[in-house]
Chains A and B, each alone.
Chain A
Amino acid sequence: MMQDDPFPAAERILLEIDAVFRKDPKLKEFDIVPVTANHNKSPVLHVEHCLGLESWCVRHVYCYTYHRIMDARQLRSRREDPAMLARLLSGALLINPDVTTFWNMRRELLQAGRLDMQGELHFIAVLLSRKPKCTEAFAHRKWVVRRLLLAGADKDALLEEELQVSRYAADRYPNNYHAWSHRMWCLANLAPATSAILHKEWAASEAWVSSHVSDHSGMQYRQFLLDRLLELKHSVSEDIVDTGRKSIQQLLSHSQNEDNVDFVQSALIKSVGLIASELLLNTDLILRFAGHEALWCHRRYLLVSFKKILNCRTDMNGTGGCRYSSSICVTRSRCAEKLSEAVSSGHVNTENAPLERDQKLSSQELGALDRDLCHLQGAMMWHEAKLISGCQPDELHQQRLAKQHRKWLSHVLKLDVPAVA
């Protein structure tokens, strides 16, 4: 294959890029700057913690680094000096971060202690500013984080940094699958078992989705958080319980239901309250920002979760239908937990006493539970009907989504939507 003329300036350019990373620990962005002519000055720009590379030199730098790296990989040339190799890889990856083999070579340098782990995290963060949805960059990031964990790095500091990076990438590219996946992975692998971080994320995510109403990935992350909160062994914060209680009251009050006092005192409040408050937030966003499918999809998730709780009773009796052994376990233990909460706060003295899964509730308790659940289901469907009928007829897309929602409620959720005046 033909080779371009060798590009003598390449090594100097690579050195300059390397120097910028070294001298500016606050470097945050990289981009290719459209400058088509070579003006006989350095094409490497460094302004306000942003690194730029003039576009005229990109193809030359890339071809140069590509061939040198591939030669080194196949040992056709003398063994490349590790520092030189690292510079070649940095230059090549900043321009084209999709080359898996180049990331592999960086991992080898990291394993050999020829590259610094923290420096690597910084390099990836800067690279993500230009390519915020790069699969390989996120995979590499996870690899580095795993190694740092094994080496005993401070989990809290790592988590902090990773949450920041994933937020940054999510802000720069809508529906950023990899950024949100990374965030979930970090929460699962770096977060302590305590609930503090979950609460913090839950609050931050509310603000984020409220200003990114078409970002389904961001909302799906919120579903992930909600699942974690529902599963939480510890109780959730007073704030959340309080909001939840008010939300349930609001939901029930809309349904022309007088008889809500009992329910609010029982302790299905954590789970039902969480979902109810999220449902109200979602309603508000749907009404304020018409025509966003992501919001309606998120709503489906909430209603499915809601229905799961309503169905607890049938699940406990073993008649609930779930074909997957793994999910049936989750559903059952969650239900057991909910019921145990109900019992422990309402009728048993010891707070949060774990109950055996097959522990029997008295018929009186079961009756009260059934009545509450029944009221809730009615209120929930009333709320849906109000929302659907309240969509403005001049909003065509919103109308379409509302119609689709009604269809989904009756066909998928298999609940009838009541008529509202």
Chain B
Amino acid sequence: MATLMKDIILSSSHPKELLLQKHADFISSYGVNKDEYEYCMTEYLRMSGVYWGLTAMELIGNLERINKQEILEFIKLCQDDAGGIGASVGHDPHLLYTLSAVQILSMYDALDIVNVDRLVQYVKSLQQPDGSFCGDKWGEVDTRFSFCAVACLSLLGKLEEIDVEKAVEFVVSCMNFDGGFGSRPGSESHAGLIYCCLGMLSITGHLHYVDADLLGWWLCERQLPSGGLNGRPEKLPDVCYSWWVLASLRILGRLHWIRRESLVTFVLACQDPETGGFSDRPGDLPDPFHTIFGLAALSLLGEPAIKPVNPTYCMPQHVVDRLGLRPQKLTL
């Protein structure tokens, strides 16, 4: 009796070439074609949606197709009196969207659009005595928010405003026996959270706390026979996890541990040949979230038609360079 493995089977009908122009069209028309219901359903994460779309466009050299002024106006309206930034106009501020906004403004070199001092105060106010960060004033703690906080402040050149040592201590306390990280101390290792924790340690220069071989081992085991990567044992492969695992391996200096060719094949198969855009798995509906992570993954894998991406910030490398940031990376 053969057991079925949780994986997908790639067929010859899936795309094998990179459909760059289609992706640019997909992103630039995304939102334009949305009806009112879809608009209302997705408004709660619009700021991140804009970040995904913009980053994708910049990585494939099509940023000029986006109306910059409109976006800057939008971000300005999303800053709350407390300094934090919400997902959209009228939505409450949250670290997730504050980071997305700062990433967009960094790309546009337009940080002065918002009140930076108050924004920094907002981020600072969310640090807890144990070093962790809440996502907003309602108190939910998660290592994702530790990443958001330090990524945000480092882009603003204000990392010293928080207690970095304590923040690092909390993230390190979320490390597990398998070398991975979870959302809180004792929580299961999870590729998305591993990316956040490594990103946080990379920005603050504390990667020496990580057991890179052990964690690299775990990350490589995310690769399935189809070439795609999952985020945890016995989950299906997914383009967004392909990015998180890959970026983590890049930060650890162990990108070459992965079977590159088959991963490229998997990611390319997740393109929608009609509409453009990437989906989580071949044949599913594409969206901007999987589109940026598909493109960014291909960039890390050396696709020359896509600009280099920085694995820590998931932003174009030239932007990170312009800001003079040197997030730590390990070498083998």
Q: A62 and B41: CB pair below 8 A?
A: yes
Residue of A nearest to B94 (CB): A100
Query: What is the CA–CA distance of A297 and B86 in the complex, to the nearest angstrom?
Result: 39
A1-B39, A101-B44, A412-B214 known; A214 vs B138 contact (CB < 8 Å) = no
1/0 per residue B73-102: CB within 8 Å of A?
Answer: 000000000000011011110100000000
| Residue B5 interfacial (CB < 8 Å) | yes
Q: A398 and B92: CB pair below 8 A?
A: no
Q: A98 and B44: CB pair below 8 A?
A: yes
CB proximity of B22 to chain A, nearest CB, Å: 27
Q: A397 and B233: CB pair below 8 A?
A: no
Q: A216 and B232: CB pair below 8 A?
A: yes
CB proximity of A245 to chain B, nearest CB, Å: 26
Q: A101 and B91: CB pair below 8 A?
A: yes
1/0 per residue A248-262: CB within 8 Å of B?
Answer: 000000000000000
Query: What is the CA–CA distance of A132 and B52 in the complex, to the nearest angstrom?
Result: 27
Q: B178 and A300: CB pair below 8 A?
A: yes
| Residue A107 interfacial (CB < 8 Å) | yes
CB proximity of A297 to chain B, nearest CB, Å: 5
Please give, as numbers and ranges, the residues of chain B lying within 8 Å of A323 by CB-CB distance: 209
Of B186-194, B196-204, B255-263, B271-279, the segment with at least 4 beta carbons within 8 Å of chain A is: B186-194
1/0 per residue A133-148: CB within 8 Å of B?
Answer: 0000001001100100
CB proximity of A63 to chain B, nearest CB, Å: 5
Q: A220 and B188: CB pair below 8 A?
A: yes
Query: What is the CA–CA distance of A305 and B40 in the complex, to the nearest angstrom?
Result: 49
User: Which residues, 301 to 325 on B, are CB-close (under 8 Å) to A?
Assistant: none
Q: B3 and A62: CB pair below 8 A?
A: no
Q: B36 and A216: CB pair below 8 A?
A: no
A101-B86, A404-B221 known; A63 vs B37 contact (CB < 8 Å) = yes
Query: What is the CA–CA distance of A95 and B36 in the complex, to the nearest angstrom?
Result: 15
CB proximity of A134 to chain B, nearest CB, Å: 13
CB proximity of A368 to chain B, nearest CB, Å: 29
* Size of B's binding interface in residues, CB under 8 A: 46
Query: What is the CA–CA distance of A62 and B44 in the complex, to the nearest angstrom?
Result: 13
| Residue B140 interfacial (CB < 8 Å) | yes
Most buried by A among B4, B91, B169, B209: B91
Q: B187 and A184: CB pair below 8 A?
A: yes
| Residue A2 interfacial (CB < 8 Å) | yes
Q: Chain B at the A interface: mostly helix, strand, loop or mixed?
A: loop
Q: B233 and A297: CB pair below 8 A?
A: yes
| Residue A328 interfacial (CB < 8 Å) | no
| Residue A345 interfacial (CB < 8 Å) | no
A4-B36, A63-B40, A397-B5 known; A175 vs B234 contact (CB < 8 Å) = yes
User: Which residues, 249 to 296 on A, are CB-close (under 8 Å) to B?
Assistant: 290-294
CB proximity of A211 to chain B, nearest CB, Å: 15
| Residue A59 interfacial (CB < 8 Å) | yes
A98-B44, A326-B172 known; A184 vs B86 contact (CB < 8 Å) = no
* Size of A's binding interface in residues, CB under 8 A: 60
Q: Choose one: A100, A143, A291, A395; the contact of B44 (CB below 8 Å).
A: A100
| Residue A396 interfacial (CB < 8 Å) | yes
Q: B139 and A293: CB pair below 8 A?
A: no
Q: Choose one: A63, A181, A326, A394; the contact of B187 (CB below 8 Å).
A: A181
Q: B138 and A107: CB pair below 8 A?
A: yes
| Residue B252 interfacial (CB < 8 Å) | no
1/0 per residue B221-252: CB within 8 Å of A?
Answer: 10000000000111100000000000000000
Q: B188 and A216: CB pair below 8 A?
A: yes
1/0 per residue A215-252: CB within 8 Å of B?
Answer: 11100100010010000000000000000000000000
Most buried by A among B87, B138, B172: B138
1/0 per residue A65-105: CB within 8 Å of B?
Answer: 01100100110000000000000000000001011110110
Q: Choose one: B6, B90, B140; the contact of A74 (CB below 8 Å).
A: B90
| Residue A3 interfacial (CB < 8 Å) | yes
CB proximity of A102 to chain B, nearest CB, Å: 8
CB proximity of B224 to chain A, nearest CB, Å: 10
Query: What is the CA–CA distance of A214 and B234 in the complex, to the nearest angstrom?
Result: 7
1/0 per residue A170-192: CB within 8 Å of B?
Answer: 00000101001100110010000
Query: What is the CA–CA distance of A180 and B187 in the complex, to the nearest angstrom?
Result: 9
Q: B92 and A101: CB pair below 8 A?
A: yes
| Residue B280 interfacial (CB < 8 Å) | no
Report B's interface with A, CB cutoff 8 A: 1-6, 36-37, 39-41, 43-45, 86-87, 89-92, 94, 136, 138-140, 169, 172-173, 175, 177-178, 182-184, 186-188, 190, 209, 214, 217, 221, 232-235
24 pairs of residues in contact across A and B, judged by CB atoms under 8 Å: A3-B36, A96-B41, A100-B87, A100-B91, A100-B92, A100-B94, A101-B44, A107-B138, A146-B139, A184-B186, A214-B6, A215-B234, A216-B234, A220-B188, A290-B3, A300-B178, A301-B177, A304-B177, A305-B177, A324-B175, A324-B209, A326-B172, A326-B173, A397-B5
- Given A101-B91, A181-B188, A397-B2, 12 more pairs with CB closer than 8 A: A1-B36, A4-B37, A63-B36, A74-B89, A101-B92, A104-B92, A139-B138, A216-B232, A304-B177, A324-B175, A326-B172, A408-B217
